[in-house]
Amino acid sequence: MKRLLLLAAVATATACGGGSDKKDPNCNPADPAACADGLVCEVVQGVGTRCASPVVITGVVYDLSLGLEAGPIEGARVVPLDVNGAPVGSAATTDATGAYSVQVPAERDANLAPVSGHVTLRADADGFATFPSGIRSAVPVDLSAATEVNAATTQWVVASSLTDVGLDPTSGAGTGRLHGNAAQATAGALVVAERTDGTVRTGVADASGDYVIFNVPAGDWTVQGYTQGVNYQPAPVAGLTDLEDRQVDLVVKNRAAATVTGSIQPTGQNQPAALDTTVVLVVRATYDVELDRGESPPGLVARLTNATGTRFSVPGVPDGEYTVLAAFGTDGYIRDVSGIGGTAPVEVLVENGVMTSAPGAFKITGAVSFADPGISPSTGTVGETLVTDASTPTFAWQAYPSATGGFDLVVFDSLGTPVWAPARLAAATLSVPYAGAALEAGRTYQVRVTAYDNAGMAVSRSEDLLGVFTYVPPAAP
C-alpha cells in the first residue's frame, strides 16, 4: 500500500505539459529555462536534444532489522550516482514514511522513453551504516524500466525492490554531523572526515556540491574532498561535540592534479579468455584490509582490455594517499593473494600535484568460481543478490586447479563482520552447509572462498562482489 500511495503522489506532484515541448524541439541542456515548466532537456538517440517528461526514482529507506513496512527511516539522505560514483542529481531526504523521490537524467528513444541508463543509490542516516558499505554493494538501477505515470501530470517513474534501501542499525557510531558545500563539485566529490585516532566517516557531494556526513563522534577532525581534476584544501574541525551539526565548506586550492600510472600482470590459473578489468583508486583511509575494498572518488578509474593492454593511466588525481585495486568487480579476476612478490595491496602517494610514489606492476589472477547458483536453495534474486529461504543454505564452488591444500570459507554479515569460519576444508570438498550463528531474517551476507596449495599458501579466492545472499524465511502459514 505504501508504494501505491507513493506512486500516486508522484503522479500528481509535478506540473508539466505532457511528454514534449513543441516550442523548443532542440533544447539546450545547460539552460534551465529551455523547456516548459515540468519538462527537462534530454538527449534523444539519433536526434539531439528534446524537452521531455522527467525520470524520477522513488523508493523507501527503512531499518533492515524491522523490515520495509515496520521500519521507515525519516531524514535519510539519498544521492543518485552513475556507475563511476559521480552524482547525477541532487540529494533527496526521506519523509516520515521513509519515502524519497530523486530526479535523474536519462537518454531517450524516438518516443522520449528512457533507454539504457543505469544509476546506483547511496543512502545515509543517523544511527545507521552507510549503504553501500561493508559487503553491501549497490546494484545498478536500470532506467529503461521506468513506467510512464499519467494523471494530471506525467513522469517516468522507476520503482522496484532495488530502489527500496534497507539500512543496518549501528550502535555507538557517533551523534554529530558535518555538512557543507564542495566548490566545483559539479562531477561530485567523495568527502572524507578523519579523526586523529584514525576513525573515518564519509559522505558524498551531490550535483549541487552539497554534502552531509552522518554519525560523527565527538573530537577533532580533518575534512578532505576528493574528485577528479580538483584539489581541495584540508579543512580542520576542532572540538566537534555530541549532537552538533558543524558546517564545513571546502575550498579549492590552486594546484593541478596528477596522473597515476602503473601496470598489472595477469598470472596464475583459471584466467578468463580475455583481459577485461578495471583499476580504481580508493582513498587509503577508507580501505578495509579484511574486505580488500574502500571508497573511490568519482572518476578515478581506468579500464583495461586486450586492446588497451596491461598499463593503466588515471588522470586528474588530487593530492592524497590511495590504495590501488584491480579486478574489483565480476570480471573473473581477483588481486593475486598468494603473498609472493607483487601481490600486496598497492599504495600510491600524490603530493603537490605529483605522483611521488609509483604503484609499479602488481598481479591479478583467475578467481575461484562459484557453482551455479552457488547458494542453495535459492528463491530468486534482487539484482545480483541471491535470495534464500533456508536458515542453513548450502554453499558450492567449482574445483580450482592448484587448490591441493583445500579451501577456507568465511561468511560475513552486511557490515563486513565474519559470522562463520569453519576449519579448512579438504581439496575434494566443493560444498558445505552453513553451520554458524542463526541468520537474521532480511539480512544480507556474503560467503568468500579461498583456495590453498600443498604448502598452505593462498592461491586464489572468490570475487569481491559475488557470493552475496539475503535470507528471507518463508512466510508463516
Same domain, 160 and 180: no
Same domain, 184 and 294: no
Query: What's the structural domain count of the chain?
Result: 4
Kindly calculate the radius of gyration of the chain based on its CA atoms and give it in whole angstroms: 23
Q: What is the average pLDDT across 106-122?
A: 91
**Residue 252 located in a structural domain:** no
Question: What pLDDT sits at residue 183?
Answer: 82
Please give the distance of CA 301 from its chain centroid, rounded to a whole number: 14
Domain span including residue 322: 258-366
**Residue 199 located in a structural domain:** yes
Same domain, 348 and 262: yes
**Residue 328 located in a structural domain:** yes
CB-CB contact of 299 with 227 (8 Å): yes
Ramachandran angles phi, psi of 13, nearest 5°: -85, -25
Region of 98 please: left (phi>0), alpha (psi -120 to 50) or beta: left
Same domain, 193 and 112: no
Same domain, 62 and 161: yes
CB-CB contact of 165 with 121 (8 Å): yes
Residue 408: is its pLDDT beyond 50?
A: yes
Ramachandran angles phi, psi of 244, nearest 5°: -80, 145
Q: And the C-alpha cell for 439?
A: 541468520
* Domain termination residue (choose one: 203, 220, 247): 247
Residue 5: is its pLDDT beyond 50?
A: no
Question: What pLDDT sits at residue 20?
Answer: 42
User: At 382, is the pLDDT very low, low, confident or very high (cuts 50, 70, 90)?
Assistant: low
3-class SS of residue 269: coil
CB-CB contact of 430 with 406 (8 Å): no
**Residue 253 located in a structural domain:** no
Same domain, 318 and 429: no
Q: Which helix (H) or strand (E) holds 7?
A: helix 2-13
Per cent of the chain over pLDDT 70 is: 92
User: At 7, is the pLDDT very low, low, confident or very high (cuts 50, 70, 90)?
Assistant: very low
Q: What is the CATH number of the domain that holds 194?
A: 2.60.40.10
* Domain termination residue (choose one: 247, 268, 289): 247
Among 385, 404, 396, residue whose Cα is nearest residue 472:
385
**Residue 268 located in a structural domain:** yes
**Residue 476 located in a structural domain:** no
Ramachandran angles phi, psi of 384, nearest 5°: -95, 5
Give the position of cell 574489483.
328
**Residue 146 located in a structural domain:** yes
* Domain termination residue (choose one: 366, 399, 426): 366
Give, in order, the Cα–Cα distances in Å from 447 to each of 270, 369, 408.
20, 12, 10
Query: Is the full-model pTM beyond 0.85?
Result: no
**Residue 351 located in a structural domain:** yes
Same domain, 161 and 180: no
Same domain, 215 and 161: no
Same domain, 336 and 392: no
Q: And the C-alpha cell for 280?
A: 580504481
The 10 Å CB-count burial string (b at 16+, else e) for 376-385 is: bebeeebeeb
Same domain, 28 and 158: yes
Same domain, 291 and 315: yes
Question: What pLDDT sits at residue 292?
Answer: 81
The C-alpha atoms of residue 59 and residue 7 are separated, in whole angstroms, by 9
The C-alpha atoms of residue 391 and residue 443 are separated, in whole angstroms, by 12
CB-CB contact of 170 with 128 (8 Å): yes
Q: Could you list the beta-strand ranges (E) of 380-435.
A: 380-382, 385-388, 394-397, 406-413, 418-420, 431-433
- For the stretch 52-67, pLDDT in tens is 999 999 999 999 889 8
3-class SS of residue 466: coil
Same domain, 327 and 414: no
Among 138, 466, 132, residue whose Cα is nearest residue 329:
466
